[in-house]
Amino acid sequence: MVGHLELAASAAMSALGVVAQSVAARRADRRPGNDPGLLARLAADRLYLLGFAAQVGGFALAFLARSSLPLYLVQAGSSCAVGLATAFGVLVLGWQVRAAELAVLGLMALGLLLLVAAATPSQARDIPVGVGCAVLGLPLLAAVLVLRARRAAGVVGLAVLAGGAFAVVAITSRTLADGPLLRLPLQPLSWLMVAAALVGQACMAVALQRGSATSAVAAMDATTVVLTSVVGIATLGDRIAPGREWWVVAGVSLVVVGVLALGSVRRDAPAAVVAREVG
């Protein structure tokens, strides 16, 4: 039950962070061309800093939730935070929303409910340090090589690489979260997790420079949810309630379809996604 509360609080804080950063980014002074001073101006905005702090808190709570909840549930919940932010923006800030978006949010909510009902709390199997660094490090090496030859990579390809890197973050943190938190700096997998986060951010930044923010974020989230769900069940011992295996398949499918659909119905980069681009 504690893990479910941590996941719910994580999604709520991430959604709050998205909305706060979005409002701060939209009210900042706009200047023509590339604006290297934008982040500096936003760093002086208390609302933006509140949003950043909320997203950091959301990440920390998601990390703790992974100590007992399967990855297919935690990552789906994290992906649904954008939908929660959209709902919050509509109800509180008066954001405009289309009927198609409401249908997509309903699909994502249904998928998440199926995953909650099918999930069984469990501790993950430990990943051997050598095997983990070798197997999980290969996608990061591939992403770095692609970044060094950026002309050969398209927006979707870079977003998929970012999703793969963030999947490494989730997979490593699933095995680290149930250990003593003070010993995290001494764990080699902790540094692999940090490296994966940096590579993911770099891939996503380049993808956002090249094309639609909504499409890039959707491709990234869909990749992360699918990879972590498969790896969690196949190798980390993520458990499913007996007889509800198809609930997980249906739930993950609905969340992934919802994420991709949310990225296609709003190609004008909605506020919820703009915030993720800036933050």
- Average pLDDT, integer, range 169-181: 84
Is 188 contained in some domain? yes
pLDDT given at position 53: 87
For 239, phi and psi rounded to 5 degrees? -105, 155
- Average pLDDT, integer, range 96-121: 85
How far apart CA 217 and CA 279 sit, in angstroms, is: 13
- Average pLDDT, integer, range 183-196: 85
28 falls in which pLDDT band (50, 70, 90)?
low
Answer yes or no: is pLDDT of 123 > 80.
yes
19 falls in which pLDDT band (50, 70, 90)?
confident
Mean pLDDT, the chain, rounded, equals 78
- Of the ranges 11-20, 65-74, 210-219, 233-242, which one carries the lowest mean pLDDT score? 210-219
pLDDT digits (tens, 9 = 90+) for 136-168: 877 777 777 766 665 556 777 778 888 888 898
Is 22 contained in some domain? yes
Comparing CA positions, the residue from 179, 176, 156, 157 lying closest to residue 168 is 176
More confident residue, 87 or 149: 87
Answer yes or no: is pLDDT of 41 > 90.
no
Percent of the chain having pLDDT more than 90?
Answer: 12
CA dihedral (131, 70, 226, 56) in degrees, to 10, reads -90
Transcribe 163-214 into DSSP letters: HHHHHHHHHHHHHHTTS-GGGGGG-HHHHHHHHHHHHHHHHHHHHHHHS-HH
Q: Is residue 170 within 8 Å of residue 75, measured between CB atoms?
A: yes
Answer yes or no: is pLDDT of 35 > 70.
no
pLDDT given at position 271: 40
More confident residue, 95 or 268: 95
274 falls in which pLDDT band (50, 70, 90)?
very low
Is 248 contained in some domain? yes
pLDDT digits (tens, 9 = 90+) for 225-263: 999 999 899 888 889 999 999 999 999 999 888 888 876
The domain in which residue 112 lies consists of 2-32+42-278
Q: Is residue 26 within 8 Å of residue 274, measured between CB atoms?
A: yes
Is 84 contained in some domain? yes
- pTM to 2 decimals? 0.78
How far apart CA 28 and CA 129 sit, in angstroms, is: 45
270 falls in which pLDDT band (50, 70, 90)?
very low
- What count of other Cβ atoms lies within 10 Å of the Cβ of residue 279? 19
- What count of other Cβ atoms lies within 10 Å of the Cβ of residue 48? 25
Enclosing H/E stretch for 119: strand 119-120
The encoded tokens of residue 80 equal 């649904």
CA angle at 95 for the pair 92 and 98, rounded to the nearest 5°:
125
pLDDT given at position 247: 94
Q: Is residue 73 within 8 Å of residue 115, measured between CB atoms?
A: yes
The total domain count for the chain is 1
114 falls in which pLDDT band (50, 70, 90)?
very high
Transcribe 16-59 into DSSP letters: HHHHHHHHHHHHSPP-SS--TTHHHHHHT-HHHHHHHHHHHHHH
Is 233 contained in some domain? yes
26 contact partners, CB below 8 Å, separation of at least 6: 271, 274
How far apart CA 97 and CA 37 sit, in angstroms, is: 31
Comparing CA positions, the residue from 210, 229, 214 lying closest to residue 259 is 214
Answer yes or no: is pLDDT of 59 > 50.
yes
- Average pLDDT, integer, range 111-140: 82
Is 37 contained in some domain? no
pLDDT given at position 157: 78
The encoded tokens of residue 186 equal 């001494």
Answer yes or no: is pLDDT of 33 > 50.
no
* Strand 239-240, strand 119-120: pairing: antiparallel
- Average pLDDT, integer, range 14-24: 75
